[in-house]
Amino acid sequence: MYIKQLKDLSSKLLNETIEAVVLLSEVKVKTTKTDKKYADIIIQDASRMMEAKYWDYEENQEKFKSFQPHEIVQIQGQVGEYGGQLQLTIRNIERASSDKVSIKDLIPTSPWEFESMKKGLEYFQNRIETPHLKELIDKMIFSAEYYEKFCTYPAARKVHHNFYRGLLHHTLEVLKLVNTVANTKKLSQHQTDRLFVMTMLHDWGKMMEYKALPELGLTEKGMMIGHIFLGAHYTLNAIHEINDFPEEDKLVILNGILGHHGSLEFGSPVLPKTVEAQILHQADKMSGDVESILSFIKEDAEEEENFTKRLWNMGTEYYKK
């Protein structure tokens, strides 16, 4: 059973015992008023996360200590209710066989088919005609050092595309959007090449800003520096390795990466200074905002109201029908 199914069917399953294979995301040992230790557990699968209780922690401490971070476990639990909310009480928990399920099966993943995404990325790679710009993309995305990470990392922690292959998914969305604008506004081939390159690299630094799933959160580099600087810094280093890379293209590409948040108050150290950079900013914002809204509507679908709760990063509620 998936966790989302459990929540959707909670009224029918009340007091029933269910079985599920889940990822053990977090264990917090707490103490009751009678000084008995119990575990507050965060479990997750590809559908969502939820909290669960394990009251027999004291008798099974050694078992819990043997679990690795993000262990795949099989649980048996009783569906209950507390304070009007679903509560799962775990009765038994055991390490699951890694032959039957992998971590990738238990974390949110892009709904797009991976082979199609790879072909899409290669399509835009092949659209770049300027040799030194193509070489830059080959170094930073299609090299053995970075390709797998680029194809698997999330694009955010919470706001948008915060799932396995989210960075690739988001990048392809933005590429499609900028391509439409470039064709509509009849940009030159060289402008289009620069636009594709800065688009493919605008969130590149998120491979270093975020931890690899299933871990959540920022790395030390992410906390201290952030993906905008990291992306520009590594791009500049790669540019210096390419013979006769024109100064103008270097500045245009770096401005696009540094300015893609569009304003100083949203984290960009500079404003977009070229038409390519402005197109990138608008397309990046559209991809992120629309994904954020749709994800929020999906999460809020089980509520009966016609409008969602207030979406904090958008500042308003959204109609769900």
Rounded to 5, what percent of the chain is helix, strand, coil?
45, 20, 35
Q: Which two tokens stand for residue 320?
A: 């769900």
For the domain made up of 108-299, the CATH class stated in words is mainly alpha
231/208 Cα distance (integer angstroms): 9
Three-point CA angle 184, 190, 196, nearest 5°: 70
Q: Which two tokens stand for residue 185?
A: 């506004």
> Looking at residue 89, what is its pLDDT?
93
> Looking at residue 1, what is its pLDDT?
61
> Looking at residue 260, what is its pLDDT?
98
> Looking at residue 26, what is its pLDDT?
86
194/127 Cα distance (integer angstroms): 11
> Looking at residue 208, what is its pLDDT?
96
> Looking at residue 149, what is its pLDDT?
97
Alpha carbon distances (Å) from 155 to 163, 166, 273: 7, 5, 24
DSSP states of 224-277? HT-HHHHHHHHHHHHHHTSTT--HHHHHHHHHHHHTTT-SGGGT-SS---SHHH
Predicted confidence pLDDT, tens digits, the chain (321 residues)? 677 777 666 667 778 888 889 999 889 999 999 999 999 999 988 877 888 999 999 999 999 889 888 889 999 999 888 877 788 999 999 998 767 787 778 888 999 999 999 999 999 999 999 999 999 999 999 999 999 999 999 998 776 788 999 999 999 999 999 999 999 999 999 999 999 999 999 999 999 999 988 887 899 999 999 999 999 999 999 999 999 999 999 999 999 999 999 999 999 999 999 999 999 999 999 999 999 888 888 877 667 788 988 887 788 988 987
> Looking at residue 146, what is its pLDDT?
97
- Per the CATH hierarchy, to which homologous superfamily does domain 3-105 belong? Nucleic acid-binding proteins (2.40.50.140)
- CATH 2.40.50.140 maps onto the chain at 3-105
4/10 Cα distance (integer angstroms): 10
Residue pLDDT, tens place only, 99-137: 778 777 888 899 999 999 999 999 999 999 999 999 999
> Looking at residue 48, what is its pLDDT?
79
- CATH 1.10.3210 maps onto the chain at 108-299
Residues 6+ apart with CB under 8 A from 131: none
129/124 Cα distance (integer angstroms): 10
> Looking at residue 237, what is its pLDDT?
98
> Looking at residue 304, what is its pLDDT?
74
> Looking at residue 86, what is its pLDDT?
81
- Output the CA torsion 187→192→194→198 (10° steps): 110
